[in-house]
Amino acid sequence: MNELLKINYETEQPTVSARDLHEKLEISKRFSVWFETNSKGFVEGQDYTSVLSGTVVNNGATRKIQDFNISTEMAKHICLMSRTEKGMQCRQYFIDLEKAWNTPEQIMARALMMANRSINSLKDRCKFLGEQVVEQQQIITELQPKANYVDKILQSKSLVTITQIAKDYGLSGRKMNQILKDLKIQYKVGGQWVLYSKYQNNGYVHSRTIDITRTDGRPDVTMQTEWTQKGRLFLYEELKKQGYIPVIEQVA
């Protein structure tokens, strides 16, 4: 069949450019007025869709102009209403086109095309999901050390000394105490480290009384600050801000 009008087969049903039809019917009326009149009774999104098409202007540049993709059924109706020889010729073209469109061979060809599109879509989807899995696995791998350390804290209910916490960071208790002093988290009173007032009532520490024996043999007691697991998490967040991270999180 000779191609009287260019047909778009990319949609579920064949469509044709309204401007192409307007030109082929040799309509003298301005396109916008003609289409507004002939589109009455048809449903946008069902019988036609608004698109932009390119046209070459006098200086050779391409300019975008308003166009519409209309169904061949709508095109047949417009051809019939034109009541011209050109209209009858175009209408017959669309009728012949529809006959060819609905042959078993064409139906099978469309089914195969749709199947290929579905397969390609699934391939793209699988590729996307595969990339997502890899990305998520990478994130999990990066966060796993942190999760392990926090889990370690949350699983423990006992009090810990600053020396035990310092060990998690590869530091000595003396060094950790100095860091916390520099960060204005704690200060020393009578040989015991105590928290500044802004942290005192948050349940971060507990004071333990320890029996000791002086060098002269006298029995005595001393106060030792021990950290709760809540306090340990607090230190984790504060130290992380300063660039101190537990050994378990450090990249080898």
pLDDT at residue 144, as a whole number: 54
CA distance 251 to 146: 11
Residue 229: which H helix or E strand, with range?
A: helix 229-241
pLDDT at residue 158, as a whole number: 82
Judge whether 241 and 184 are in contact, CB under 8 Å: no
pLDDT tens track for 77-117? 999 988 899 889 888 888 887 777 666 766 666 666 666 76
Select from 88, 108, 102, 101 the least CA-distant residue to 9: 101
CA distance 235 to 185: 9
CA distance 118 to 107: 16
Residue 142: which H helix or E strand, with range?
A: helix 104-155
Query: CA angle 219-221-224, nearest 5°?
Result: 150
pLDDT at residue 137, as a whole number: 62
pLDDT averages per 10-residue partition of the chain, 252 residues: 73 84 91 92 91 73 87 90 89 82 65 68 72 64 59 73 91 94 93 91 85 76 85 91 86 56
Structure-derived torsion over alpha carbons of residues 84, 85, 91, 93, reported in degrees to the nearest 10: -160
Which residues make Cβ contacts (< 8 Å) with residue 20, sequence separation at least 6? 5, 6
Judge whether 6 and 16 are in contact, CB under 8 Å: yes
Structure-derived torsion over alpha carbons of residues 114, 120, 124, 125, reported in degrees to the nearest 10: 50
